[in-house]
Chain A
Amino acid sequence: MMADEAQLTAGTRVQPGERYGFFTDTTLCIGCKACEVACKEWNLLPAESGGLTGHSYDNTGALSATTWRHVAFVEHLRSDGAERVTAMQPFQSNWLMLSDVCKHCARAGCLEACPTGALFRTEFGTVVVQQDICNGCGYCAPACPFGVVELDVDDGKAHKCTLCYDRLKGGLEPACAKSCPTDSIQFGVLSELQARAATRVQDLKSRGVEQVYLYGVDGVDGSPGSTGGIGDLHAFFLLTQRPEVYNLPPAPTLPSRRVRPGLVRGLAAMASIAVATAAIFWSDTRGA
């Protein structure tokens, strides 16, 4: 039997039933945006209008219906300009870069909000919008705790990263991970990635980078990288600063947790109205 290409490029065989994901190590990102380009090319996503944002080298801005990888650039320069870039420490020298992507959450807010079943969990543990089912109700977009999925008003469907569902089906590594020249984006079986990431954190700490932590690995409760009721993020990150710095929410919550208490309170209010109506209109001589 022929080996999967993913076995050659990522050391992983892609099999249905396993949970796959991305480990994005921000300490290795050099901000080349190869992932953005590879994603656009493979998924045939149109370019968005050009223009400069003035936000460092980030002219992409944010994830959107047609941008499924987004490299964030954070510059920490002293405002008085007294500190020259060349005088900074060589590692993570006040230049932070992170390639953001859909988190493919273990409990996905978008999927739980989708009324049509267009959003579904694939055999690879990822979350995908079925384009032939989505009717563009748009409820997944405000539901996502990470602001990833977006409704495209041009074609009337919601879009987001599919973790290259079609490539996985063919045994290929996702385009962004394959194109990443520094292995900042690593593709693999989630449990293996998490073990690798834990080792990387220990390694960095032993080399004196104290503030590193994993964002999106469940079980580290209370830390800024914990994910509340969302569970493991299938795309998780190694960060050196607070999540907000990279536009990631600290300890987000699962929207569907608020469904039951909300419905109960609404019905209780209506029951009170019914009782009040009965009290006001009560009559011994019924109108029948």
Chain B
Amino acid sequence: MREQPPTYYDRPALKGGHWGYLVATYFFVGGLAGAAQVIAAVVDLLGHRRDRQLVSAGRYLALAGALISPVLLIADLQTPSRWYNMLRIYRRTSPMSIGSWTLVAFGTFSGLAAVGQLASDVFGLPAGRRVARLVGVPAALSGALLASYTGTLLAATSTPFWATGYRILPALFGLSGTATATAALSLILDRCGAPRASVRRLARLSLLASIAELTLSLRQERIWRRAGVAGPLEEPPLALPYRLGAVGLGTLAPLAIHVTQVLTGRELRMASTLAAVAALAGGYTQRTVLILAGKRSAERPRDYFRLTAADDGLRD
């Protein structure tokens, strides 16, 4: 343990964010939609005919997310009538600005891709499918940014808990977005009676995402502890929701179910549904807990002083 720095009556040296459930929900929805678009585009370009339902579901899910996200963000503004000022400038030092424009691009391309998909799915127009496939590429690129920039949005602040996450949080959010997208897609495919081969492949992708997410979570926890800023996650009230919700439900539970299914070679529909619901609930809990932990972190002057004085964990 390093020397305890003095403080000014333990008063916060920083201002925390005002973010709450609206932004947490946006992180969840945006991550899910962005990752769904990436999966849809890749499967459309390289996958098999039987995976068509997956592509359709991915495109519609992405569009739904693209429509909900701006509503959540505008609702979070303290002067929502001026939302359009977000599009007044582009500022490359501001993840908030980068994110606003990413959302514009993602919304536009996702809309076009979904229209093309709809034309193909409902009216059987082959041109619609070609449009969807073509526009799906920029939609997936903006989706990749949408799913992961939220980690940078947190990291590019002075909040110790978030700032020390700049190496991991963006990737972690991207992977968690993927895990939740595969969970949502598998629920949809299951209800649509999609081919089992399609669902099985999706489960495999979900398994990979969960393993990667768990690995990154553990690495991030080590970074937080080493920098001395892990307090908010280790103390009540966030310790339990983080362990049980974000890690337990979000990664461990689906991981255990998927591994069991692969090892036994038996797939219970009930178990798959359970894994998907757990992944979704865990993903939402993860965003909420990490946002709340940052707000608590900003109120801990010792964490902040220790971090800036040590001059590590904040520079690349």
Interface, chain A (partner B; CB < 8 A): 53, 55, 58, 61-62, 72, 74, 109, 112-118, 133-139, 141-153, 156-157, 224, 228, 242, 244-253, 255-259, 261-263, 265-274, 276-278, 280-283, 285-288
Contacts and interface: CB of A to CB of B under 8 A. Distances in A.
Interface stretch (B63-71, B74-82, B239-247): B74-82
A224 B310 CA distance: 11
Contact of B49 (A62, A261, A287): A287
B46 interface: yes
Contact of A245 (B8, B52, B91): B8
Interface in B50-73: 50-52
A229 B226 CA distance: 23
A286 B48 CA distance: 5
A262 B151 contact: yes
Q: Which of A72, A151, A261, A270 has the most CB of B within 10 A?
A: A270
Contact of B89 (A117, A143, A224): A117
B28 interface: no
B223 interface: no
Contacts of B91: 112, 114-115, 117
Contacts of B78: 135-138, 151-153, 156-157
A282 B51 CA distance: 11
A112 B93 contact: yes
Contact of B316 (A143, A258, A268): A258
Contacts of A72: 8
Contacts of B49: 285-287
Nearest to B153: A139
A113 B8 contact: no
Contacts of A285: 48-49
B92 to A, nearest CB: 8
A150 B18 CA distance: 10
Nearest to B7: A244
B205 A277 contact: yes
A266 B19 contact: no
B125 to A, nearest CB: 14
Interface stretch (B142-150, B230-238, B259-267, B269-277): B142-150
Contacts, number: 291
Contacts of A137: 76-78, 86, 96
Question: Quick one: which of A53, A228, A257, A285 has the most chain B CB within 10 A?
Answer: A257
Give the residue among A116, A141, A224 with the most B Cβ atoms within 10 A.
A116
Contact of B156 (A61, A152, A259, A277): A259
| Chain B binding surface SS class | helix
Contacts of B100: 115
Contacts of B224: none
12 contacts: A55-B11, A112-B93, A138-B78, A141-B16, A244-B301, A257-B315, A259-B95, A265-B170, A269-B212, A270-B147, A282-B47, A286-B48
Max chain B CB contacts within 10 Å: which of A248, A281, A285? Answer: A281
B293 interface: no
Given A113-B156, A283-B47, A139 B96 contact: yes
A258 B167 CA distance: 8
Choose among B78, B208, B294 the residue with the greatest number of A CB atoms under 10 Å from its CB. B78
A287 B8 contact: no
Contact of A135 (B85, B156, B298, B305): B85
Contacts of B83: 135
Given A112-B93, A277-B38, A247 B82 contact: no
Contact of A283 (B19, B46, B77, B209): B46
Contacts of A262: 95, 149, 151-152, 155-156, 166-167, 169-170
A286 B224 CA distance: 45
Given A138-B78, A261-B316, A283-B47, A266 B174 contact: yes
A269 B44 CA distance: 20
B163 interface: yes
A278 B205 CA distance: 10
Contact of B148 (A255, A257, A267, A276): A267
Contacts of A153: 18, 78
B84 to A, nearest CB: 8
A158 to B, nearest CB: 9
Q: Which 3 A-B pairs have the closest CB atoms?
A: A136-B78, A266-B148, A266-B170
A88 B178 CA distance: 64
A175 B93 CA distance: 32
A174 to B, nearest CB: 22
Contacts of A272: 212
Contacts of A246: 8
B96 A115 contact: yes
Contact of A253 (B5, B9, B314): B314
Given A147-B14, A262-B169, A116 B205 contact: no
B309 interface: yes
Contacts of A138: 17-19, 78
